Chains A and B, each alone.
Chain A
């Protein structure tokens, strides 16, 4: 594979001489701090990387140029010189009206795109008045039970001008239908609106665990949105294949990389099997990665992800359009690394993690707020998080050149090693028959659980230091962090609003559109147009999801 010039014998001689004359006496005088050094994923790291480590890496075929296959150095020829990443802070709490105010505040403060967090009942396809929703309405995100909530959420926000990301999975198609009807009512053209739907059900089974239906019908719903958006909402990014939650659940960086890309492969394969042309849809697939603490490991992960995806799309799926080869991704800093102890330290963690995302060539970025291990972010904390991105963008100078770490022996070697390790996992899952089959067996779930446990043990043995937690800890019980408190009034008002909607809508139209949905789903027709019809009649999220529960059944997680 390599056509690169081999390091000269002179270099090998010099390397040996250095080991004998300089390294050895140093080690005998002062041993290193540990016998082995590992990343936060417990991946071993060598003392020194030299030209000998990159002998097999071809500077043209493997590293190449930004904007060209295999995109190791980024998907844009000019990197962040041409366009900065989108600063997209995830927000959502309480009622749609509360979140609408936060959205407007963020837009006024220079945020360039919206990102919606939904509450747990919404994520699980339950209405606010379901008994299962008690105590959870509006707590982790905004409560959306019907079109009326979606109208309030985007009130005064022109959907043709702002791009919106919506973090929703099991009921993604219902929420997309609501968004499209709001756009329609604003007079916005579906052909011109843009945004991103997370819509990644596989990682729900693997890590985040917010599912409704079993894996196969769930995949069918996803493919319905692929088809519908390709025809009707061509600028919509209908899936964000997410490693974020896999990592938060405790995976290593390599597992995050491997399982996320194998999920991507699964969606592409299902769409092709459903008769879609790969180049007609692949350019609308986007990805979402975590930015964890281990700076270089994260940067190598993003670079490896682009290279793997480019090869998979071109060589495995035969995609011809370069856009289909390009892995675009959103990054969020790692919530799991934030500490409740000495919470202001989190600002430093977030800044370093965000910098890794930027140096890894991210297209958009969410920086966590310092208080997120305590509660949802307060306005003050959310502003500091956004300012952190602006400081990286405008003060540090890291955006002045494209992929500045390329050519580092360490970064290139780590990129290649992570690529190889991820490919091993991908081949293993291929051999199982695909990701749906691997999930049936609990394979990715068990791998992640083991990694989470190993990391916890390393922390408790003191091998991994968490500042303020297992080292440098002081009593900070007196440190006041202002917190956003969501009371139960949202639940009460949501229940009242829903009762009113149910009483005033056209009951016959509700029954008819739900029947059409049930019949269409049972016959295997595309559910998206049927869901749009339901939404127009103010059919609630819970009613749509319950109708499909009858058709598809509900998922029960096997206990691993």
Chain B
């Protein structure tokens, strides 16, 4: 049987707004993916360690606090250090348009902003992520 896509949904930083993260986690789970939700206030180190341990295919970060330009690069850096080259990183939250190209240049695959539907996220993951062996 084909392995299910495994996703880590993470809330880095101090921000406690977890409505979006939880709605996405539930929608992906309902769509048959295996979703691990980290809970609030995870450091980039904890997130990447969880990604390694859980052997995930992609990581989704939810950030609404404005700290995205600090937190995304740090997670990417740690992912590289841990050799997670085939793990996709995407994100969502309150992220101004002009920061999105910068994040993509750094290696963030996609950024979903307010109003994105869970179906958009689902479709993106289905066409861009393959479940690992």
Q: Is A210 located at the chain interface by the 8 A CB criterion?
A: yes
CA A13 to CA B113, docked complex, whole Å: 55
Contact assessment for B19 and A249 in the assembled complex, using a CB-CB cutoff below 8 Å? yes
Which residue of A134, A250, A373 is within 8 Å of B94 (Cβ)?
A: A373
Give the distance to chain B from A513, nearest Cβ to Cβ, in Å: 27
> With A136-B14, A374-B94 given, is the CB distance from A339 to B115 under 8 Å?
yes
Q: Is B70 located at the chain interface by the 8 A CB criterion?
A: yes
Contact assessment for A453 and B70 in the assembled complex, using a CB-CB cutoff below 8 Å? no
Q: Is A456 located at the chain interface by the 8 A CB criterion?
A: yes
Residue from B22, B113, B118 with most neighbouring chain A CB atoms (10 Å): B22
Contact assessment for B114 and A339 in the assembled complex, using a CB-CB cutoff below 8 Å? yes
Contact assessment for A340 and B114 in the assembled complex, using a CB-CB cutoff below 8 Å? yes
Which residue of A133, A375, A460 is within 8 Å of B117 (Cβ)?
A: A460
- Write out the residue numbers on chain B whose beta carbons fall within 8 Å of the beta carbon of A375: 66, 94, 96
CA A458 to CA B25, docked complex, whole Å: 17
Q: Is B65 located at the chain interface by the 8 A CB criterion?
A: yes
CA A120 to CA B114, docked complex, whole Å: 21
Count residues of A near B (Cβ-Cβ below 8 Å): 44
Which residue of B19, B39, B71, B97 is within 8 Å of A248 (Cβ)?
A: B19
> With A339-B115, A452-B19, A469-B115 given, is the CB distance from A124 to B66 under 8 Å?
no
Q: Is B16 located at the chain interface by the 8 A CB criterion?
A: yes
> With A121-B14, A139-B66, A557-B39 given, is the CB distance from A449 to B115 under 8 Å?
no
Count residues of B near A (Cβ-Cβ below 8 Å): 30
- Write out the residue numbers on chain A whose beta carbons fall within 8 Å of the beta carbon of B43: 132
Closest A residue by C-beta to B40? A209
CA A460 to CA B70, docked complex, whole Å: 32
Contact with B along A276-316 (1 / 0, CB 8 A): 00000000000000000000000000000000000000000
Find residues 22-79 in chain B having any chain A CB closer than 8 Å to their own CB: 22-23, 26-27, 37, 39-40, 43, 65-67, 69-71
Contact with B along A456-492 (1 / 0, CB 8 A): 1001100000101110000001000001001010000
Closest A residue by C-beta to B113? A340
Contact assessment for B94 and A209 in the assembled complex, using a CB-CB cutoff below 8 Å? no
Residue contacts A-B, CB under 8 angstroms, 24 given: A124-B14, A132-B14, A133-B14, A134-B67, A136-B13, A136-B66, A136-B70, A140-B65, A140-B66, A209-B17, A210-B14, A210-B16, A249-B19, A250-B19, A338-B114, A339-B114, A340-B115, A373-B114, A375-B94, A453-B27, A456-B118, A460-B119, A466-B115, A469-B115
Instruction: Name 20 extra pairs, CB < 8 A, besides A135-B69, A140-B66, A557-B40.
Output: A120-B13, A124-B14, A134-B67, A136-B14, A136-B65, A139-B67, A140-B65, A209-B17, A248-B19, A249-B17, A249-B18, A249-B19, A338-B114, A339-B115, A340-B114, A449-B22, A453-B26, A456-B23, A486-B66, A488-B70
Q: Which residues of B contact A (CB under 8 A)?
A: 13-19, 22-23, 26-27, 37, 39-40, 43, 65-67, 69-71, 94, 96-97, 113-115, 117-119
A-B pairs, top 8 by smallest CB distance, nearest first, are: A135-B70, A209-B16, A139-B66, A135-B67, A120-B14, A469-B115, A340-B114, A136-B67
